Chain A
């Protein structure tokens, strides 16, 4: 999950900006640290060779330089930020080979649901994507906020109930990656890690076809069961009954997740032991 080992163009650009910014700042920071240590050491009271200049308390030239150095650094970095923000806007498509893949991600308490509306399939905690294709994500949440993040593919984005956020990524190399939620969402939060399988563009249709044969169906009823709090250790896959399911969730036709539910609320307000299966 190393950020400096990007597996797609977004992560590559992000980490390039990250590393470049650090180097731009190090050019200023390293000499400053040495100056601090040097001045502190040389002007120690016990050094007879250091000249005591109690009246050196203002110098227009020094002031100009000390305002200019950070200002110039910030102008340079500000340019990086401005251009970077526009080039790497998560909502902007990332062109790739083959036809784009639409993926609708829903954060649930505490698992990830990935809906492939065009392929009429859905998965839990496993994201399978073809290498090199443009990936268009639409994201929402069934209950509380989460953040969708695949470190080696780049840019994270919040998921919020009743709202849709957009993210565009591309995975360039086949292989296994990891994704996670990067915004605390409750007791099962650490179990919201998910697998990302980047498969070859040829293998992807096969995987779709195999998944579409799944016995289990995702519809409003089975989705409501998924909304219950709990973690999912398995990797269930579904046939998608209604490709508009994501819209029903996002526009709250299906109400938000129930949380711990009334039967679990203790009068004293403390959580019941085992009120969730996160442990």
Chain B
């Protein structure tokens, strides 16, 4: 009846996951009952859960990423403490637990923190920057978000029901095959990623279509803000790469569930095939994450320097070059598998070639600052911090692309330090910069600068205190994923890294305090103009938060930096130009399709993990039926009457009147 599921799945003998699970459960129940008692449920359902508004979905993506960042961060803290204490002892985490923690940490941070964070920011901002009213497929957008949430839910469920994978975040076979990992851990891993992978793929298709097909009047490709370009590149990579992940995991699942032999030791299975396939997805994935971050930095550096982006066309070229080359370098993840010197050298050089467009980007940001008037608001701090951190990460990355150096450093703590250097220093700093920069746009008030700057400094310093010791440990021969060790020379560096982790944690706490403080002071921090940073692109041309239809009129774009241009022209001419008549606006209706579909997908995923076949059929039928019902809908749009549009827009115009008359004096 319940497949492999019984009471022994609950880890009554392991206090840490049980207590953590209990706390989370209490917190969820607390929030839920508060929502129900206060009567917020209809509001949540109407305005958020069933919303197909790209801004709302973007915010929910970022919320998901932030919550999962805390989970992944707790894993990181536990690992750092374990390695600091596990010298000539077992530490406090037994191997079967420690191995789950590093596997979950990697999986969560990549798939459920970095991915939803950047996808959330793209969702929130790209339609605004393009001057349009929504993404190409609003309901599909909601489906994509909720399927990602399903994946996150299943990963967290593994904390208390069963176990998570103990194989590392890429679940290499044959270790991840049934004979060496008979538990449900790998199944939790694979089904979470399969389900959320569908969500990511539809998000990618949606954003590619949006950029290619929905641009406002005059928004040529070469007038798009850089963030739109990097969004295009990143989502093209998603569309091209995620099917590889899905296929690879499908093969692994066929091995595990139906006795196939794609990657087994026996019967002609080939583990090297898995390595190639997973990295053919895995390397582009790195650029899927970092390209949007590059876009964010381009926007931030240009805005806060008071200058257009230096070498815009060069940046576009660099972005698209990275997009293409990133597919040709995957083998550098396993130089040590014994491929011949020609193969290794060619992939090594190809990997280095990516450093060229990346270097160009750094220099173009540098020259954007040159001759600027730089305001060091929090987003700009994150950007300058990124440029310095990322150069160090780039250096160690190119070093690892030299095969003979990699023969010594592969899989070492040096490698761990390197990819944290680029993912924290690049993606996470970018996500934080974007968060600080666009928060006023999303919520209508700015974030507290003092706490924001504190958060930056603690994170920046904490990062170096944590990861420089790991570089050194790698140079001392320490390999990754060690639950305990007997080498005295490694010990001091593990202790310093643990201290660095504490500093990083303070940074995260400052960020939380910043949000709390800002919400309390929101009236003082209110952004009435819609343009708190003296911005340059179209998202600042509408109110904060924007109305559901984003723009009362489709903006008319006449050059790069569309809004800067408008402000300059408005100052030359008069502000109150003749407005054309307001017109009715059609917007997509809310739809519970995404939520209901994800509900059934969760049931199906859980049932697949535990081999509860009747429930699999139930969940599958439910998800399918949801789509059928959606396909049979009669009305998918509603109309906002012209008077309502006019009323909303006039308020907005009045409030920004002062600002526009000031523009140009800058």
A residues apposed to B, CB below 8 Å: 1-4, 11, 13-15, 17-18, 21-22, 25-26, 28-29, 32-33, 35-37, 39-40, 43-45, 50-54, 56-59, 62-63, 65-67, 69-71, 73-74, 77-78, 80-82, 84-91, 143-145, 147, 149, 151-152, 154-158, 160-163, 165-166, 178, 180-190, 193, 252, 255-256, 258-260, 264-271, 273, 278-279
Ranked nearest first, the 6 interchain pairs of A and B with the lowest CB-CB distance are A1-B477, A53-B371, A70-B359, A151-B477, A66-B363, A269-B184
A259 vs B310: C-alpha distance when bound (angstroms): 58
Q: Does B131 contact A (CB under 8 A)?
A: no
Complex interface residues of chain B between 108 and 131 (CB less than 8 A to chain A):
none
Q: A184-B99, A185-B175, A270-B9 are in contact. List 6 more A-B contacts (CB 8 A).
A: A14-B408, A18-B408, A53-B371, A63-B311, A66-B367, A271-B183
Contacts of B405 in A (CB 8 A): 14, 17-18, 21, 84
A136 → chain B closest CB, angstroms:
14
Residue ID in chain B nearest A77 by CB atoms: B352
B355 → chain A closest CB, angstroms:
6
| Contact A37:B411 (CB < 8 A) given known A69-B359, A193-B486, A256-B265 | no
Question: Does A158 lie within 8 Å of B334, measured CB to CB?
Answer: yes
| Contact A157:B338 (CB < 8 A) given known A40-B384, A269-B4, A270-B9 | yes
Q: How many A-B contacts are there with CB distance less than 8 Å? A: 327
Say which residue of B180, B312, B337, B489 sits within 8 Å of A1 (CB atoms): B489
13 A-B residue pairings within 8 Å (CB atoms) = A18-B399, A36-B387, A43-B372, A57-B308, A70-B355, A73-B355, A77-B402, A85-B344, A160-B337, A182-B479, A188-B95, A255-B266, A269-B9
Stretch in B161-169, B206-214, B571-579, B584-592 with 4+ CB within 8 Å of A: B161-169
A172 → chain B closest CB, angstroms:
17
Stretch in B41-49, B288-296, B388-396, B498-506 with 4+ CB within 8 Å of A: B388-396
Say which residue of A26, A57, A182, A189 sits within 8 Å of B309 (CB atoms): A57
Q: Does B512 contact A (CB under 8 A)?
A: no
Question: Does A56 lie within 8 Å of B395, measured CB to CB?
Answer: no
| Contact A29:B412 (CB < 8 A) given known A57-B309, A81-B402 | no
Residue ID in chain A nearest B340 by CB atoms: A89
A185 vs B180: C-alpha distance when bound (angstroms): 10
Q: Does B373 contact A (CB under 8 A)?
A: yes
A27 → chain B closest CB, angstroms:
11
Question: Does B366 lie within 8 Å of A35, measured CB to CB?
Answer: yes
B365-380 to A contact mask, C-beta < 8 Å, 1/0: 0111111111110000
B479 → chain A closest CB, angstroms:
4
Complex interface residues of chain B between 1 and 29 (CB less than 8 A to chain A):
4-9, 11, 13
A163 → chain B closest CB, angstroms:
8
Question: Does A4 lie within 8 Å of B475, measured CB to CB?
Answer: yes
| Contact A3:B477 (CB < 8 A) given known A57-B309, A63-B314 | yes
Q: Does B513 contact A (CB under 8 A)?
A: no
Question: Does A58 lie within 8 Å of B311, measured CB to CB?
Answer: yes
Question: Does A78 lie within 8 Å of B366, measured CB to CB?
Answer: no
B161-188 to A contact mask, C-beta < 8 Å, 1/0: 0110011100010110001111111010
Question: Does B338 lie within 8 Å of A29, measured CB to CB?
Answer: no
Contacts of A13 in B (CB 8 A): 404
| Contact A81:B345 (CB < 8 A) given known A58-B310, A260-B182 | yes
Question: Does A89 lie within 8 Å of B341, measured CB to CB?
Answer: yes
Complex interface residues of chain B between 388 and 425 (CB less than 8 A to chain A):
388, 391-392, 394-395, 398-399, 401-405, 407-412
B334 → chain A closest CB, angstroms:
7
Question: Does A161 lie within 8 Å of B265, measured CB to CB?
Answer: yes
Say which residue of A88, A166, A187 sits within 8 Å of B404 (CB atoms): A88
Contacts of B403 in A (CB 8 A): 81, 84-85, 88
| Contact A44:B348 (CB < 8 A) given known A155-B408, A268-B5 | no
Say which residue of B166, B308, B395, B408 sits within 8 Å of A154 (CB atoms): B408
A124 → chain B closest CB, angstroms:
17
Say which residue of B338, B375, B398 sits within 8 Å of A77 (CB atoms): B398
Give the residue among B306, B310, B402 with the most A Cβ atoms within 10 A.
B402
Q: Does B63 contact A (CB under 8 A)?
A: no
A116 vs B485: C-alpha distance when bound (angstroms): 28
Contacts of B272 in A (CB 8 A): 160, 163
Question: Does A71 lie within 8 Å of B356, measured CB to CB?
Answer: yes
Residue ID in chain A nearest B666 by CB atoms: A54
Residue ID in chain B nearest A62 by CB atoms: B367
A86 vs B362: C-alpha distance when bound (angstroms): 32
Question: Does B412 lie within 8 Å of A32, measured CB to CB?
Answer: no
Question: Does B182 lie within 8 Å of A149, measured CB to CB?
Answer: no
A112 → chain B closest CB, angstroms:
14
A238 → chain B closest CB, angstroms:
24
Contacts of B181 in A (CB 8 A): 259
